[in-house]
């Protein structure tokens, strides 16, 4: 059990610093590079998302100025097209090359360690359940069907906005995808990458007229158990809730 007074944050910050002439030296083994994408071939079913269609009348700076955290939502569904835009805007593919596929957000080394598990509560034409976003195919993979709002809410320290949202996006980190190159310093980059995705999440929500809020206060292993990941090689790090503004 962690000692709450242990200065593990300070220790991490100091131990992961880069120091001139003392950089770690290792050769990248490209034959052991982790896969850039995760998929669930044994998913209960796969749902192809519509191609993202962008409203060209949306003013960028208005979106920037109006962005804010919204914690109260209407009990109304969001559309499949809105979900498609949210997922594509958070981490959709934009430029694909043999060694790397770039996305809508930056990532250290182009490694993109963040995975997205949408927990669907209230989306038109999609049943409730826990899904995985297959980035390469722009589709949803159903992992568990059912109502998991109570479980996610408890794992988010009982914050009621997680229960009332149309979707809870659980963001996880595939550690080895980043540590393959950056060793222990990878954790710094993983959290930065999650921040990039979180900001895009806010901006897309505002552009769509939806309310959104991110949650960093989570019981990590409760979420890990919910989506059946081990919390070591892949672990939950962040949650985003979204719905119609109240």
How many domains in the chain? 1
Q: Is 78 within a domain?
A: yes
Q: Is 145 within a domain?
A: yes
Q: Is 4 within a domain?
A: no
- CATH code for position 88: 3.40.109.10
Q: Is the pLDDT of residue 156 over 80?
A: yes
Q: Is 40 within a domain?
A: no
Give 139-154 pLDDT, tens digit per residue.
999 999 999 999 999 9
Helix, coil or strand: residue 155: helix
Distance CA 59, CA 34 (A): 39
Average pLDDT (225-238) is 98
Give 157-204 pLDDT, tens digit per residue.
999 999 999 999 999 999 999 999 999 999 999 999 999 999 999 999
Q: Is 50 within a domain?
A: no
8 A C-beta contact, residue 54 and residue 168: no
Continuous H helices in the chain: 8-15, 60-66, 80-91, 149-155, 161-164, 175-182, 186-207, 220-226
Q: Is 66 within a domain?
A: yes
Instruction: Give the pLDDT score at 5.
Output: 76
Q: Is the pLDDT of residue 209 over 70?
A: yes
Distance CA 27, CA 95 (A): 27
Angle at 100 (CA atoms; ends 195, 112), nearest 5 degrees: 20
Tell me which residue range forms the domain holding 191. Answer: 59-244
Give the residue carrying structure tokens 């969001």: 78
Instruction: Give the pLDDT score at 1.
Output: 57
Band of pLDDT at residue 33, cut at 50, 70 and 90:
very high
pTM over 0.85: yes
Instruction: Give the pLDDT score at 112.
Output: 97
Give 72-85 pLDDT, tens digit per residue.
999 999 999 999 99
Distance CA 107, CA 112 (A): 5
Give the residue carrying structure tokens 């409730």: 128
Count of Cβ atoms closer than 10 Å to residue 81 Cβ = 15
Q: Is 17 within a domain?
A: no
Q: Is 16 within a domain?
A: no
């Amino acid at each position: 059990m962690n000692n709450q007074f242990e200065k593990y944050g300070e220790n991490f910050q100091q131990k992961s610093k880069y120091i001139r002439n003392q950089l770690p030296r290792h050769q990248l083994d490209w034959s052991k590079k982790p896969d850039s994408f995760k998929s669930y071939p044994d998913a209960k079913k796969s749902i192809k998302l519509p191609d993202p269609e962008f409203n060209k009348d949306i003013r960028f700076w208005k979106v920037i100025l109006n962005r804010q955290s919204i914690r109260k939502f209407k009990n109304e569904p969001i559309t499949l097209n809105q979900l498609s835009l949210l997922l594509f805007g958070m981490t959709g593919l934009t430029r694909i090359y043999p060694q790397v596929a770039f996305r809508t957000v930056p990532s250290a080394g182009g490694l993109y360690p963040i995975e997205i598990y949408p927990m669907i509560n209230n989306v038109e034409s999609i049943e409730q359940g826990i899904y995985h976003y297959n980035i390469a195919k722009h589709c949803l993979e159903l992992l568990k069907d059912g109502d998991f709002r109570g479980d996610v809410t408890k794992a988010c320290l009982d914050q009621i906005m997680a229960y009332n949202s149309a979707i809870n996006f659980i963001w996880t980190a595939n550690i080895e995808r980043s540590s393959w190159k950056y060793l222990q310093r990878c954790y710094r980059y993983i959290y930065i990458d999650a921040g990039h995705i979180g900001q895009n999440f806010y901006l897309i929500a505002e552009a769509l007229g939806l309310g959104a809020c991110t949650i960093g206060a989570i019981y990590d292993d409760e979420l890990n158990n919910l989506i059946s990941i081990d919390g070591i090689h892949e672990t939950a790090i962040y949650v985003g809730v979204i719905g119609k503004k109240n």
